[in-house]
Amino acid sequence: MLSAELINDLIPPLKTTDSGDRALLLMNDFKVSHLPVVNNSTFLGLVSEDDIFEMENPDDSISDCPLIPTFIHGWQHIYDAMKIMSNHKLTVVPVLDDKENYIGMISINTLLNYFAEITSLSSPGSIIVLEIGQRNYSLSEIARIVESNDAHILSSYLNSTSDSTKIEVTLKVDKEDVSGILQTFQRFNYIAHSFQQQKIDNDDTMDRFDSFMKYLNI
């Protein structure tokens, strides 16, 4: 998916004439810590909540606030937007067109909701995490074990580290009772664990995003 397809049209950008108070009000309303500053269609940079808090008078305009010159083009893949957010610890990333005109922004919540949808995280089922040697990894064998227990893999991710010969395989399966699946994996010498899905408050969105980026190993 291209970045332009995930633009959040509900969050307005700031202008240099906007006050610090207005910026903080918008950030609070939309649960973000950054907003793009745009004059007409010209992107000037991102202003952060921390820098606004350091203003002597929040009634003053944000024109003198330091700006972060970070953005993404609409034709770039959504993974690029995720990488930029992760590297710079951003809660939004501005999107520009081919002529460097501002066309919108992608918020961290929009990204998380999108990936929750395409990875079936909101679907009923369970999460299984396998630990396996890199040379022994076979998705077809893993799928066969899951399907032999009358279940199906809805999504899967790999996570590995450079200093280890093992990888972590995380599966979302369409079955809530996975005891039989775990027993089968153990018979095939997999180290297997299951985790219950829990509802998570919106207040820890950045922590969830960081965990998700490590999850995808981007």
What's the confidence (pLDDT) of residue 204? 53
Asked if residue 206 is part of any domain, the answer here is no
Residue 146: give its domain's CATH number: 3.30.70.260
Its sign, for the CA torsion 154, 87, 83, 40, is positive
Asked if residue 205 is part of any domain, the answer here is no
Rounded to whole angstroms, the Cα distance separating 150 from 173 reads: 10
Domain membership of residue 135 as a residue range:
122-196
Q: Report the percentage of the chain scoring pLDDT > 90.
A: 56
* Structure tokens given for 154: 């809805």
Asked if residue 137 is part of any domain, the answer here is yes
What's the confidence (pLDDT) of residue 211? 55
**Which whole number is the average pLDDT over 95-118?**
88
Asked if residue 52 is part of any domain, the answer here is yes
Q: For the segment 58-81, what is each residue's pLDDT rounded down to a tens digit? A: 899 999 999 999 999 999 998 899
Q: Which of 97, 115, 133 is the last residue of a domain?
A: 115
Residues 127 and 111 in one domain: no
What's the confidence (pLDDT) of residue 166? 85
Residues 28 and 108 in one domain: yes
What's the confidence (pLDDT) of residue 156? 83
Asked if residue 203 is part of any domain, the answer here is no
Residues 71 and 13 in one domain: yes
Rounded to whole angstroms, the Cα distance separating 128 from 114 reads: 21
What's the confidence (pLDDT) of residue 67? 96
pLDDT-derived band at 142, boundaries 50, 70, 90:
very high
Tokens 């332009």 found at: 4
Asked if residue 211 is part of any domain, the answer here is no
Rounded to whole angstroms, the Cα distance separating 17 from 151 reads: 57
Residues 101 and 128 in one domain: no
Asked if residue 129 is part of any domain, the answer here is yes
* Structure tokens given for 153: 């893999």
Residues 106 and 175 in one domain: no
pLDDT of residue 115 exceeding 60: yes
pLDDT of residue 86 exceeding 70: yes
Rounded to whole angstroms, the Cα distance separating 51 from 43 reads: 18
Residue 18: give its domain's CATH number: 3.10.580.10
What average pLDDT does the chain have? 86
Residues 10 and 44 in one domain: yes
pLDDT of residue 118 exceeding 70: no
Can you list the alpha helix ranges (DSSP code H) found in the chain?
A: 20-30, 49-53, 78-88, 108-118, 139-147, 179-187, 205-216
Residues 19 and 103 in one domain: yes
Q: For the segment 173-203, what is each residue's pLDDT rounded down to a tens digit? A: 999 899 999 999 999 989 998 776 544 444 4
Residues 15 and 108 in one domain: yes
Asked if residue 26 is part of any domain, the answer here is yes
What's the confidence (pLDDT) of residue 130? 92
Residues 7 and 109 in one domain: yes
Q: For the segment 31-60, what is each residue's pLDDT rounded down to a tens digit? A: 999 999 999 999 999 999 999 999 999 899
Residues 108 and 136 in one domain: no
**Which whole number is the average pLDDT over 93-97?**
96
Q: Which of 115, 140, 166 is the last residue of a domain?
A: 115
- The total of structural domains in the chain comes to 2
Residues 175 and 77 in one domain: no
What's the confidence (pLDDT) of residue 212? 54
Q: Which of 115, 131, 146 is the last residue of a domain?
A: 115
Residues 103 and 30 in one domain: yes
